Amino acid sequence: MVRAISKWTLDLLGWQIKGQYPEGLKQFVVIVMPHTSAWDFPLGLLVRAVVQADIRFVAKDSLFRSPFGWFFRWMGGYPVDRSKRGRYVDAVIDIFEKEENFVVTIAPEGTREKVDRLRTGFYYIALGAGVPIVMVRFDYGRREVVISKPFWPSGDKDRDFPNIIDFFKDAQGKYPDKGIDEEVKY
């Protein structure tokens, strides 16, 4: 029922999902860009329901405080202290090691504001946990959510990141002036 309502809502709003959610893959990191609006969260929840996936998310620990902390946990959230740089990556890798089935989504911008540098934690999480990355593009201009095939990070950022940036380069966020461009660093 939730799937049908979510699909109906996306259809009503004119959104399409393109690409295939990876069936049978028990662990991976999902990266979603561009992340320019709080509306990305409900859009992600609708997509998650349509593809019928148990996708978790990590978010700044302040979201998990009262009065709404229970809600974000119930929705599948894991709080992280973003002030402890290396510990964040290690903490998420630990979750992968403990959970047989674990898929987590991360926004590489780390904020809804314009950035000139992507955060690379998602890359090192995937590398450290030995899991692939699935890219998901939220394109408000075309009203498309595009899901990539899984790819395994090589450990060579200079080889992998141009491909990541290329996948997202033409996507228009809800607020286009806050999106990434081809010159973004990593």
167 phi/psi in degrees, rounded to 5: -60, -35
The sheet that has 55-60: what strands, in order across it? 16-18, 144-147, 133-139, 27-33, 102-106, 55-60, 77-80
Average pLDDT on 161-173 reads: 89
Token pair belonging to 42: 């409900």
Amino acid (1-letter code) at residue 115 = V
Amino acid (1-letter code) at residue 171 = A
pLDDT, residue 86, reads 59
With cut-offs at 50, 70 and 90, classify the pLDDT of residue 30: very high
**DSSP assignment letter at 39:** T
pLDDT, residue 15, reads 96
Comparison of pLDDT for 168 and 110, the residue scoring more: 168
pLDDT in tens, 138-148: 999 999 999 99
Average pLDDT on 15-27 reads: 94
pLDDT, residue 32, reads 94
Average pLDDT on 38-65 reads: 90
Torsion of CA 120, 26, 103, 148, to 10 degrees: 60
pLDDT, residue 154, reads 96
Q: Is pLDDT above 80 for 60?
A: no
Q: Name the average pLDDT for the chain.
A: 89
Q: What is the pTM of this model?
A: 0.87
pLDDT, residue 82, reads 63
Q: Which of 15, 26, 92 lies closest to 54 in space, CA to CA?
A: 26
Q: Is pLDDT above 90 for 35?
A: no
Alpha-carbon distance of 9 to 6, in angstroms, equals 5
